[in-house]
Amino acid sequence: MRYITVILIGLSLSIDAAAAAAASGACCCQNKRALGIKCATLFSIFQGGMTLAGYMLGSFLIDYIDLYAHWIAFGLLSFIGGKMIIDAFHDNQTPVDYSSNKVLIILAVATSIDAFAAGMSLTVEEQLNIYISALIIALITLVMCLISSKIASYVGKKLERRALIAGGVILILIGLKILIEHVFL
């Protein structure tokens, strides 16, 4: 495995994080640029960090993590996505702040569980520097999240309520994708 493969892994891992960043960026908040930077930074730290953690723990925890990780990711993403959809239809209640650190950390954890497994898979490659690999994955995630949140901020301005619904649906679909990949494939 060479670093080209790490770049491809980084691109595939960053898609979920970029979609979550887009979902957050499409929501109505005051400073979309700051939110995009915050999402990109947080998600990239978690992607790189979980890759590194997966590598460090190696196959020691794979049996335990593999049994429940997809269910946890599905639950977290479905909960937040469902809440976004509900908020789109209820003007009279206090909506969740989708730009809050709490929500973004939950999204970062949920979208980076696959990075943990990817880090575990990198233990078999002796010619690979895991620190460089984790950094590559983090940087790719950073760029992908910046781009997706920027695009979503424009879409969110024009579509408002529909963007909140779309963001919720996207998060639920990401959760379903993770669940299907691990349970049925």
Instruction: Please provide the distance, in angstroms rounded to a whole number, between the alpha carbons at the two ends of the chain.
Output: 23
Q: How far is CA 82 from CA 26, 49, 113, 126, 150, in A?
A: 15, 28, 20, 43, 23
Percent of the chain scoring above 70 in pLDDT: 82
Instruction: Name the residue among 162, 154, 172 with its Cα closest to residue 89.
Output: 162
Which of helix, strand or coil describes residue 45? helix
Crossing angle between the packed helical segments 32-57 and 3-26, to the nearest 10 degrees: 140
Q: What is the mean pLDDT of residues 22-33?
A: 71
| Residues 161-185: tens digit of each pLDDT | 676 777 778 778 877 887 888 788 7
Provide the residue range defining the domain that includes 56: 3-183
In terms of C-beta density within 10 A (0-12 exposed, 13-18 middle, 19 or more buried), how is residue 8 classed? exposed
pTM: 0.74
**pLDDT above 90 for 68:** no
| Residues 117-172: tens digit of each pLDDT | 788 777 766 678 889 999 999 999 999 999 988 887 777 666 666 767 777 787 78
DSSP 160: T
Dist. CA 164–CA 65, nearest whole Å: 32
pLDDT at 112: 86
| Residues 72-84: tens digit of each pLDDT | 778 877 877 787 7
Q: Look at the chain and report how many structural domains it folds into.
A: 1
Q: What is the mean pLDDT of residues 39-50?
A: 94
pLDDT at 22: 81
Token pair 């049996």 in the structure block, residue:
63
Are 70 and 182 in contact by the 8 Å Cβ rule? The answer is yes
Band the pLDDT of 43: cuts 50, 70, 90: very high
Sequence-distant (6+) residues with CB within 8 A of 23 are 81, 84, 98, 152, 166, 167, 168, 170, 171
Sequence-distant (6+) residues with CB within 8 A of 15 are 144
**Structure tokens that stand for 22 in this block:** 């887009």
